[in-house]
Amino acid sequence: MMPNERKLRDAFIAALGVAPDAAVETFTYRGIKEWDSVAHMQLIAGIEAAFDIMLDTADVLGMSSYAIARTIVVRHGVDIEA
Amino acid sequence: MNPLDLAGRVAFVTGGSRGIGWACAELLAGHGCNIAINGRTETGLAERAADLAQRFGVETLALAGDVARAAEVEPWYQAIFRKWRRLDVLVNNAGVLEPGLVGMISADLVDRVIDTNAKGAIYNLQAAARLMTRAGRGSIINMTSIIGVEGDAGNTVYAASKAAVIGMTYAAAKELAPKGVRVNAVAPGYIETDLVAGIGADAHERRLGQIGMGRIGAPVDVARAVLFLASDLSTYVTGQVLGVDGGMRI
């Protein structure tokens, strides 16, 4: 796994408090009990800190899955393949 | 350490090119704070920012646009993030005052006043909080009014908009306190600004008669209260509405 992909995955694991080997790629907002609105804001903060970016409100409201989160950080200039 | 030393910190003042906002920008810059100022148009805004930089030796940023438009607000905070990577103080000040007697309040007037004074304050509070919570610190100072606290005949819509600012202050203070962000409001009384410039001699005298100290306030009187809330003198103060009105009662 590439370092930036690892960073994103780690942000999910830390914010949602799930096991390190959890299948975060399948997670959706409110699809698991750990990913509620409070955890969502922690996740946003974690992703912003991990990549030193600032997300828009539209990103915050639209980040409803790991896959979408991946797309959003790429749009903010993160090379997820690096 | 001087608790009023704001060197290295960053403040954003909406409606910061004149009146109370400008007085706040000047006073914060005078205490070493880097300053972003917003005005509705670009006219003169960059010059105002350059003036602060030249007089006080701080870094500045001019951010033109309408606080009532969410799409214009977010890029300001992206610009602040790109320049400084932090925001320590928001002076949520931009506002409009449009009187209207009950029965003569148009829907357009309601939209203009509520959009700027209430919605605009929420947009800025939310964006600022995002930058502050990631650092675990910050001070948001919302500009309300004695009219939002007490009401005032002829100013029902303005009173509603400023009461909304008080409500958002109380709510956000509760939500953001665990994240290290303080949220307070300042409620000026009768202050000498463009908002009251055309009030007329009789109304002016009537207003003075409502003020215990018997004089109109100066913008810097309000700015000093803002400085207190922005500084480390108020590190345990949140969820408060601080009147700056010389003992005014409407």
Kindly report the number of other CB atoms within 10 A of residue B238's CB atom.
Answer: 20
Q: Which domain CATH number covers A47?
A: 1.10.1200.10
DSSP string, B127-160: HHHHHHHHHT-EEEEEE--HHHHH--TTBHHHHH
Q: Report if residue A10 sits inside a domain.
A: yes
Mean pLDDT over residues A17-26, rounded?
94
Q: Report if residue A49 sits inside a domain.
A: yes
DSSP letter for B85, please: S
Percent share of chain B, pLDDT over 90: 96
Q: Report if residue A40 sits inside a domain.
A: yes
Closest residue in chain B to residue A54, using alpha carbons only: B78
Q: Report if residue A80 sits inside a domain.
A: no
Cβ pair A54:B126 closer than 8 A:
no
What is the overall mean pLDDT for chain B?
96
pLDDT at A1 over 80: no
Would you say the C-alpha torsion A28, A30, A31, A35 has a positive or negative sign?
A: positive
| Buried residues in B62-78 as b, exposed as e (16+ CB within 10 A) | bbbbbbbebebbbebbb
Cα–Cα distances in angstroms (integers) from residue B129 to residues A5, B37, B126, in the given order = 27, 17, 5
pLDDT at B213 over 90: yes
Token digits for A8?
Answer: 């994103």
Yes or no: say if B250 and B158 are a contact pair by the CB < 8 Å rule: no
Residue A8 is part of which domain span?
A: 3-75
Closest CB from B81, B127, B133 relative to A45: B133
Q: Which domains does chain B have, with CATH numbers?
A: 10-237 (3.40.50.720)
Q: Is B77 a catalytic residue?
A: no
DSSP letter for B34, please: E
Q: Report if residue A24 sits inside a domain.
A: yes
Q: Report if residue A81 sits inside a domain.
A: no
Tens of pLDDT, residues B98-129 = 999 999 999 999 999 999 999 999 999 999 99
What is the ipTM score, two decimals?
Answer: 0.86
Residues of chain B with Cβ-Cβ distance to A41 below 8 Å are: 133
Please give the tally of structural domains in chain A. 1
Token digits for B249?
Answer: 């009662």
Tens of pLDDT, residues B195-204 = 788 788 899 9
